Amino acid sequence: MKAIALMGATGSGKSALAMRWAQQDGSCIICCDSMQLYQGLDIGTAKPSREERAQVVHHLVDCCQLPDHYSAARWAEEARQVIRRANAEGITPLIVGGTGLYLKALTVGFADIPAEQPAVRAELEKLLQQQGAPALYARLQACDPATAAQLHAGDRQRVMRALSVYESSGVPLSIWQRRASDIPPIDCPVLVLEKPRDQLRQDLATRFHAMLDAGWLDEVAWLIDQSLSESHPAMRAVGYRQLREALQGECSMTQAIDAGITATRRYAKRQVTWFNHQTPDALHGDAATLEAAYHKLRAAMHHNQPSKERHLA
């Protein structure tokens, strides 16, 4: 399988760059974003518009309906299916986004962890409401100390996931993760788009306010009406969480906006750190540097390939 990944921090400009490349080459885009795949979360996730999706085929966007959960393993398997179909049509898809864990699941793989049992998840949700996050973390420390040592007690989402895996399978998550899974090989060079830190910080603040002007608060109100559990990834999405607190009267709107911008900047910093450490073979650079590298990669990957690239319908 062949693909090219264009990754980077939120707000770095990778989506616009990928659109230009895909239009030039008649390629398609696989969205590698853990929030853009949820239907209804459009403005705050900077999801590609309907017009953009009409110009270039986008995969793995709007593919999950709340209250369903998505996972890195599920995304990787569905991405492999898209890549196989695209390659059969002579297309090398562009994997575009900022969720590095999803890309790692595709290129490196995870252990074949069994599905969580819904009844187990429901019981843990009830325990969270009754006793709080510290109780869940203490429970995880007792049954899977290795995983607990890697998590913060307040990381409800990952603590819940680890507990649910253990309660559903009887095997700690740390043990599952040590059991390597066989994954199909994939030729996927990684390009990481970078932007000067000060410029990125300013651009993120500007974009946050632009999203508010575009109606983001209505989207947050809709999310509140879905009555999701507090541990659902959508409820903890950057920006949504802070604005939700304002709409629920827990803080002022000014405080929420300031907190949301700060959280977005911190998230971008974590993404930069992740790509610096987790993608050692990636090429990092600005748009001009990556564009030159991208065209060289495509030429090398498509040497002697007879099929002409076109849109994958």
Residue that has been written with the tokens 């629920």 in this structure? 248
Span of 62-76, 117-131, 293-307 with lowest mean pLDDT? 293-307
Total-model pTM: 0.79
For residue 308, count CB atoms less than 10 angstroms from its CB and return exposed for 0-12, middle for 13-18, buried for 19 or more. exposed
- What distances in angstroms separate CA 185 from CA 36, 66, 83, 182, one per listed residue? 26, 32, 12, 9
- Report whether pLDDT(37) > 70: yes
Q: CA neighbours within 13 Å on the CB side: how many for 285?
A: 13
Architecture of domain 4-110+182-301: 3-Layer(aba) Sandwich (3.40)
Output the CA torsion 82→83→84→88 (10° steps): 100
- Report whether pLDDT(116) > 90: no
Structure-token pair, residue 266: 């911190």
How would residue 306 be classed by pLDDT, with cut points 50, 70 and 90?
A: very low
Give the pLDDT of residue 46: 96
What is the biggest distance separating any 2 CA atoms in the chain, rounded to whole angstroms? Answer: 62
| pLDDT tens-place string over residues 150-199 | 888 888 888 988 999 898 888 898 888 776 566 788 999 999 999 999 99
- The CATH code that applies to domain 118-178 is 1.10.20.140
67 cis-preceded (ω within 30 degrees of 0): yes
Could you tell me what percent of the chain has a pLDDT over 70?
Answer: 95
Neighbours of 221 (CB within 10 A): 13
Positions of CATH 1.10.20.140 in the chain = 118-178
Positions of CATH 3.40.50.300 in the chain = 4-110+182-301
Distance of CA 190 to the CA centre of its chain: 16
Torsions phi, psi for 196 (to 5 deg): -50, 140
- Report whether pLDDT(307) > 80: no
For residue 215, count CB atoms less than 10 angstroms from its CB and return exposed for 0-12, middle for 13-18, buried for 19 or more. exposed
Q: Please, what is the Cα angle at 235 between 117 and 135, to 5 degrees?
A: 60
Structure-token pair, residue 15: 């989506």
Mean pLDDT of 128-157: 89
Mean pLDDT of 219-228: 95
